[in-house]
Amino acid sequence: MFKKVVKSFVFNLLIALIVCSLSPAGNTIISTAAAADRDYIVVQTWGGSLDEAQRIAFFEPFTKETGIKVITVEAGDSVGAKLTAMQRSNNIEWDIITGDYASYVNNYFEKGLLEEIDYSIVDNTQDLIPGSAQKFGVGQYLEGVCLAYNTTKFPPGKEPKSWKDFFDTKNFPGPRAMHNWGGPADNLGIAMMSQGLQPDEIFPLDFDRAFKAMDTIKPHIRVWYTTGNQIMQALIDGEVDLAVSTDGRAKKAKEMGAPVKIEWNQGFFFIAYNAIVKGTPMKKEALELLKFCNRSEQQAIFTKHIGYSGTNTKSYAFLPENIQKDQSSHPDNLKKIFNFTTVKNNQWVLDNIDLIDEKWNTWIAK
C-alpha cells in the first residue's frame, strides 16, 4: 500500500510539473489550469533581438500605459503545430502570434486557429501600407529579404549583384546561408530568379526546375538557419560569406561590427503580421495591443532597435535620415525590390502552402 501511495504521489507530481510551462523571456510560470482566468497577455515571438525590439517598442510601453503585463515566449518553427495542439486540448496558452508570413497566417486562419480581427477596436490602420489590415492579422513590419555578403571577401568591383551571382559558386566562391524556418516558397522563388525569371514569372512553381537549381547550391550552404539570431551570428562570426538574409538581421550584424553589406537588387519584402489565437481569454486586451502596435512613434522605436521598416508610413518622420535611407521601403530601395505577396499568381502560394512545405521538407532531408 505504501508503494502505491508513493507511486501515486510521484505520478501526480510529474503531472503538476508537466502542466506548467516556463516563459524564457519573462521567466514566469504559466499554469495551464489558470490559463482561462489569467490577467496577462502571452505573445509568441521569434526570440533574440527581434523579441527585444518588440518588447522595448511595444510590449513594455503598452504595459506602462494599460497596466496589462505582456509575457513573450519563443516558438521556433513549431507555430502551426502548437496552435493546433492548443485547439485540440482546449488549452489556449498563447494570445497573440507575431511576425509571420501572410501565407502561413492565412493558412492558420482558414484552419480555424485564429480569430478574425475586429477593426472596430483596431481602428487606427489608415496610415498602414496597403495590405496590412487583413481579416487574419495586422501588419506590424516589413521583413525584407536580401543578398548579404562579406565585404572583405567581395570588395568593391567584385561584389555579387544578383541571385544569379549567389548561385554562381565558381565566380563567387565561399560558404553560404539560407533559411529553413518555414515559408520555403521564397527560397524556391530565389532559385527561379537565379535562372533568369522575373518575379511575375515565378508562380506557379516549376518544382523540377526550382529543385534542380537548389541541388547545385545545396553543397555550398553551410548554415540552414532556423532563427534570426542564427543568421546574424553566422554573419558576425564570418561563418558564411554570402547569405539570403532578412534585412533587419543583416543590418544588426553590421551594426555589431561585421563587414556586411546588403545588395538590394532583386530583394523583396513580406508584410509580417500579428494575429490573435482562436479562443483566447484575453481577446479584448489582445486587440488593444495590436492597436497599440500600429502607432507611428512605437514603430519608429522598433525600427531603430532592429532595422525592419514599420508598416505605418508616418513612422518615417520619427527616424533619422541615415536610418530612413537604410530601409527596404525607402524610395531609392523600392526601385530595386518588390513586394513578394503582390507578384502575379501569388495566390497560388496561399492555395498550395502545404504542398510546397511537403516538397521542401522531402528535399532538405536528402
Percent of the chain predicted with pLDDT > 70: 89
Mean pLDDT of 52-60: 97
| Other C-beta atoms lying within 10 Å of the C-beta of residue 85 | 12
Domain ranges of the chain: 19-141+272-322, 144-270+336-364
Per-residue pLDDT tens digits for 251-291: 889 989 999 999 999 999 889 999 999 999 999 999 999 99
Per-residue pLDDT tens digits for 72-86: 998 766 799 999 999
Homologous superfamily (CATH) of 19-141+272-322 is Periplasmic binding protein-like II (3.40.190.10)
Calculate the CA dihedral of residues 152, 238, 265, 360 and round it to 10 degrees: 150
Same fold, 19-141+272-322 and 144-270+336-364: yes
Percent of the chain predicted with pLDDT > 90: 67
Tell me which residue has cell 519608429.
300
144-270+336-364, CATH topology level: D-Maltodextrin-Binding Protein; domain 2 (3.40.190)
Q: Is the pLDDT of residue 26 over 60?
A: no
Mean pLDDT of 157-178: 97
User: For the chain, how far is it from start to end, CA to CA, in angstroms?
Assistant: 54
What's the pTM value of the predicted model, to 2 decimals? 0.72
Task: Give the span between the Cα atoms of 105 and 83, in whole angstroms.
Answer: 11
Q: How confident is the model at residue 222 (pLDDT cuts 50, 70, 90)?
A: very high
Provide the 8-state DSSP code for 181. Answer: S
Q: Is the pLDDT of residue 362 over 60?
A: yes
CB-based contact 167:146 (threshold 8 Å): no
CB-based contact 145:267 (threshold 8 Å): yes
| Other C-beta atoms lying within 10 Å of the C-beta of residue 18 | 9
